[in-house]
Amino acid sequence: MAKRKAIVSTQECVACGCCARICPRSAITIPHGIYAVIDRELCVGCGKCVKECPASIISLEVTEA
């Protein structure tokens, strides 16, 4: 069954932390305050971070896993 996972365009991330605060699975961290990193094992593809990001640089991709 196809699942969705969030991915970040890291080069455009301004490390504001909005996505990390909204994620219900605590799947997003910002190591060293540089850019957001999404743990694909924790992400359930809910899309909340996609809507929250002020820079609109998070998207959902369909995976087969």
The contact set with ligand SF4 (CB under 6 A) reads 6, 8, 13-19, 22-23, 25, 27-28, 30, 36, 38, 43-49, 52-53, 55, 57-58
Query: Least distance to ligand SF4 from the beta carbon of 38, Å?
Result: 5
For the stretch 25-28, contacts whose Cβ atoms lie closer than 8 Å and that sit 24 or more positions apart, written own/partner, are none
Query: Are 50 and 6 a contacting pair, CB within 8 Å?
Result: yes
Query: Least distance to ligand SF4 from the beta carbon of 21, Å?
Result: 9
Q: How far apart are CA 1 and CA 36, in angstroms?
A: 27
Query: Least distance to ligand SF4 from the beta carbon of 37, Å?
Result: 10
